Amino acid sequence: MPHDDAHIRALLRDWLELYPTAMSIQDESEFTAARQQLDDICYQIAAIPSTGAVGLAIKAFLRHWVEENELFPLDKAILEDAARLVPETAPLVAEWLEHDRQRHAQAAFNSLKAFPGGQLN
C-alpha cells in the first residue's frame, strides 16, 4: 500500500476497531498492552506524510486522544473538521466534545459552590 492519506485512513480504521475494546479492558496489564497497540498505530500514522486534508484531519483527531488535554476553541474546531472530513471519527468526536462540555459545567458548578456565601439549592 502506498504511503498516502489512503494508508493513513486504513490505519485509522484499525485504530477505531481496537479503541472500544481497549478502553473496556479492566486488567491493567492487558490495558497497557492494548494502549501500546493504539500508540503504535499512532506512531505509524505520524510517520506517513499527509497528502491532503484527510491525512491532516486524522492526525488532528488522534492528537486529541494522545494529548488527553482540555479542549480549547481551536481544538474543538479541529475535531469538528476531522469529523466532517473523516466521518469514521464522528462518534468519538461527539463523545469527546460532550465530555468536555460536562467537565466545564461541573467546573462552573464547583466555582459557584466555592463562592463565599454562595449557596446552591
**Residues 5-40 pLDDT 10s:** 999 999 999 999 999 999 899 999 999 999 899 989
Say what the pLDDT of residue 118 is. Answer: 54
Residue 49 included in any domain: yes
Q: Can you read off the three cell numbers belonging to residue 59? A: 492526525
Asked if residue 120 belongs to a domain, the reply is no
Top-confidence residue, 102 or 108: 102
Q: Any idea what the Cα angle at residue 74 is, between residues 50 and 52, rounded to 5°?
A: 15
d(CA 4, CA 8): 6
Residue 121, in any domain of the structure? no
Global confidence as pTM? 0.65
DSSP 87: G
Which residues span the domain enclosing 74?
5-114
Q: Considering its fold, how many domains does the chain have in total?
A: 1
